[in-house]
Structure 1
């Protein structure tokens, strides 16, 4: 017993070697303390994991809410942005009230169209470079100020003179009776209206493209705002003709209508400046860099965004935040230690780096887009289809009158210009929504493993929808290239208008979707803005052709009107040929995309 007791007294405890640490009072207490420490450690670890997961889920939920709120705001902007399409509602009143000539009325509408179409690449570049918010804020002032100038000019009335004869003499002179505002003020107002329309439209569509362009519903996300833009002029014209109506004459009260549009569009622009937001733009920029590196569009050139190029760019742009110079291998000078990134500088440095990446992507993307031969094939085909579509809509009134040569004959209500405008608008809207939805379900999508392999077993390319819709568009032109339109106008013209509306709407919806698929969404505003220039030029060209053929059919009896199929047959046959040429051009472009492995 003594030996065992002696052995127990001389046994070494686990912590006897550490003189700085206290012995545990008993083995039971030590065990309990160790278990408590382990449990506390595990509890701390799992609480950190759970807290991190909650934070990530909250961040994702907030981003999702911001994305869909931005989509709703974009829809609101597009539902109001197309006010210029209701110009025919008040254009004739410029002649009767302001005493403008037809040339001056055309000059006002042309000023709006030029500012809306010709500068779309600039508007798109500003949207890509500085985000949609500043651009839609500018559109609020352009549209609100433009309609306010137009309203005040209209309210001031025309400049009137009265011929006054002096008593006792035969001399007479013109005396100013009423001083109206100069015609140039109306031009300036509609220049702002056209520019504001393009800014608000591009801001909304670009936001949708960048937020949803990488998802499964990119087609619908682009088609819906584009369709709403087409509907905006329709509902605004109904509001103008029914709400803002003069009791005496029955005409629209242009002054009150312009004030309504000024207030509405100014408010919508301000809402857009607060609500339009591109979510996860950092990931979008990083993916754009990866796309450019592996898509083959760089022709073997790598993006110079690493090694010395990145270090030099970062050093120039973040001077004072960090220093990349070292005094030797693995050492840092003491004078330069203070220049290394501190925690409070990390966010500023990452923000600067993201801006450099974005600037690099935008600088490289547009030259690639502009020099790509397939882009020119796509744009020229778009020119050949949208030009005839715009011309058909703008001249449907004179086109219908060619089938009613009798002075007392007029188109019945079912075949009136207003009816055809509604047919074209509804067919165009349905085509935009249908193509966006159906192509989302059937079009091939890149797989997550290999970038250009389709993820669906049964797929139909968006190009097929583009080609088929253009063929329907040409069928509407062919119906008018024969005598059928003149012989049976009540049947042929509505069918032709439906085909034109379907083809026009589908082409206008599918073209930006294809641009986002082939060239990405980071530079979407600039790319789509460049292609969106061509409808204005196409409308001008085909309107001249239509006017030339129509004027050639006018008789020698002094009449200014043309009757019969000869007034338009050759024009629409040429339009049908132009549509077939567009189909061929798009087929060639599609072949080039397939050779590059681009999924459309």
Structure 2
């Protein structure tokens, strides 16, 4: 006789064992999903990779004001990640002071682009190592180290700018910004991983997108501070040489020092308790068998979760996501790193990087990038949660719309500038569109990866994914810097380099990134129309019924043949 297997039968005995994540300072439990008593023994065996320890019983069930203690810790950690991500987003502030840094140390535009690229390389290439450390030791210790790296990196840069007579070689400044970028990764990835672990899947877009919005909004906030207190027009006669860049960098350093303290005292890893076991029915041939068949319970609703990087890289949807991420993120990073140089190229002759009008326009572009970057992260995170839950719409459709918006923005700038002299408004619109589209990437891509990947492997796999923008921005930033310097007037002996003026300085780079976005949109469309990943190793009830029907048909075929004969 066939038997209906219910999830409650599986949750008896040893299958109720629980697994606990530890990070050295806080722990919580998560129930295992087993199929038999023996399977329950080994489903979450302790390993050095994920530090899972088997134990039984509930944890953190105490309440404060009617709210479980777990959620107080989650709320405190959530707020802490918001502050850390605001500090980590300072790396995107570079365009607002990059030309001042160039003039302070006598760099070319290509060298400044390489400094910006070094920060992004540190941010993204450190991802796999940071992700592995998160999976091994938990988010909190990694966030502490990352915040310390950002603090000491900016301390060194601000000291060099504030000290008269120090002239940093470009390679040394590249090294410092690589160090700062790695620290930014050490704050960003632990914050994302902690919130992915702590919140359920149906609000994961919110849990990732809202804190990351402050990562994007960080540049806007600090641009306002710079404009109000440190730019040339705000300082009047006290800083006639272009503003107090050293004081501004010192302020950033102090803000990052507070982040170190918060990571030490307020960040806790509190993974979510989820069962994920549902009832399943098994069909059997009740007419021809009198023996009871073995019953095995298994989850039917959840798809297979990727357990390793090799499996992730061979997954077709992952390959399409990687291609889309490469093409779109490189475009966004080129604008983020060089929009200040675009403003300088379009400014009238005689207006240099120390001109208050130029600095204000540069600050406006960075503020637009930052505001719409933050807006994109929130809208894409919360909106994709809603459309997925209400209408079953994949987040990949949101990704497609973002890449299309970015492609339009890249084509709009050279076309609008060529059409007339009023360049500030079309450049601002394109910058806002690029910021929005770029921000959505950082809500949608980690949320898509979290749908496919096991939570205890998310840190390393998403960390590896962050290498993708590092490679693409190296291509786009190098292209921009080389084309910009190519159109500069030749340097005369004994004179500083002349500024590149006109749309020719950057138009070809914008057209190149527009083509990249068109290809990226095609990849995003292919991802959106792919069916969602199906469970591996399990057969649905409908499939079981179909298989049983086919077997019965085969068994009755000889009888039908003899009857017809």
TM-score (norm 2): 0.68
C-alpha deviation, 1:123, in angstroms: 0.7
Partner of 1:224: 210
Residue 8 of structure 2 is aligned to residue 75 of structure 1: no
Counterpart in the other structure of 1:539:
473
2:517 alignment partner, one of 568, 579, 595: 579
**Equivalences for 1:101-500 in 2 at 5 Å?**
108-158=115-165, 189-212=176-199, 214-243=200-229, 248-249=238-239, 251-280=242-271, 295-296=303-304, 364-400=307-343, 416-444=361-389, 456=390, 458-480=391-413, 482=415, 485-487=418-420, 488-500=422-434
1:132–1:204 CA contact under 8 A, matched in 2: yes
Q: Which residue of 2 aligns with 1:170?
A: none
User: What is the Cα deviation at residue 132 of structure 1?
Assistant: 0.6
Distance across 1 between alignment mates of 2:366 and 2:197: 32
Corresponding residue SS for 1:133: helix
Contact 2:109 2:484 in 1 (8 A): no
CA apart distance, 1:90: 4.6
**Deviation for aligned residue 1:411:** 12
Provide the C-alpha distance between the structure 2 equivalents of 1:144 and 1:408, rounded to a whole number of angstroms. 34
SS at match of 1:157: coil
- Cα distance change, pair 84–556 in 1 and its aligned pair in 2 (3 A): closer
Rate the CA distance shift 1:479–1:415 in 2: closer, same or farther, 3 A: farther
Partner of 1:358 in structure 2? none
Q: Distance in 2 between matches of 1:483 and 1:264?
A: 39
Number of aligned residues? 447
Q: CA deviation at 1:425?
A: 2.0
The Cα RMSD (Å) is 4.1
CA distance in 2, matches of 1:284, 1:144: 41
Distance in 2 (CA, whole Å) between partners of 1:565 and 1:412 is: 19
Rounded to whole Å, the distance in 2 between the matches of 1:416 and 1:243 is 16
Distance 1:512 1:548, change over 3 A: same
- The 8 Å contact of residues 304 and 533 in structure 2, kept in 1 or not, is answered as no
Alpha-carbon distance change, 120 to 286 in structure 1, aligned in 2, over 3 angstroms: farther
How far is the alpha carbon of 1:441 from its aligned partner? 1.6
Report what 1:12 is aligned to.
none
Q: 1:269–1:467: structure 2 CA closer, same or farther, 3 Å change rule?
A: same
Q: Deviations over 1:220-262 (max 9, x none)?
A: 1111111101122332343345446766215554444444433
Kept after mapping to 1: 8 A contact 2:305/2:454: no
Q: Is the 8 A contact 1:118 1:533 kept in 2?
A: yes
The answer to whether the 8 Å contact 1:149/1:186 transfers is: no
Paired residues for 1:53-92 under 5 Å = 56=61, 58=63, 61-92=68-99
Using the TM superposition, give the Cα deviation of residue 470 of structure 1 relative to its aligned residue in structure 2, in angstroms: 1.6
Report the secondary structure of 2:456's partner residue: coil
Choose from 517, 520, 524 the match for 2:458: 524
Give distance in 1, aligned partners of 2:230 and 2:482. 38
Residues 154/401 of structure 1: CA separation in 2 closer, same or farther (3 Å cut) = closer
Give distance in 1, aligned partners of 2:104 and 2:482: 30
Shift of 1:460: 2.6
Alpha-carbon distance in 2 for matches of 1:232, 1:396: 17
Q: CA deviation at 1:294?
A: 6.6
**For residues 190 and 555 of structure 1, what CA distance do their matches in structure 2 show?**
29
Q: Counterpart in 1 of 2:52? A: none
SS at the partner of 1:594?
A: coil
Write the distance in 1 (CA, Å) between the matches of 2:168 and 2:432. Answer: 42
2: distance between equivalents of 1:565 and 1:91?
Answer: 20
The structural deviation recorded for 1:514 is 1.2
8 Å CA contact 2:218, 2:370 repeated in 1: no
Q: Is the 8 A contact 1:389 1:500 kept in 2?
A: yes
Q: Deviations over 1:63-83 (max 9, x none)?
A: 111111111111111122222
Tell me the equivalent position of 1:326: none
- TM-superposed CA distance for 1:124, in Å, is 1.4
Contact kept? 2:223, 2:366, Cα under 8 Å: no
Q: Structure with the greater relative contact order (CA < 8 A, sep ≥ 6): 1 or 2? A: 2
1:91-106 matches, within 5 Å, as 91-94=98-101
Name structure 1 gaps, 5 residues minimum. 1-51, 160-179, 299-363, 445-455
TM-score of the superposition, structure 1-length normalised? Answer: 0.64
**Matches of 2:203 and 2:305, distance apart in 1:** 25
Residues 1:242 and 1:100: Cα distance change in structure 2 (over 3 Å): same
**Distance in 2 between residues matched to 1:125 and 1:587, nearest whole Å:** 31
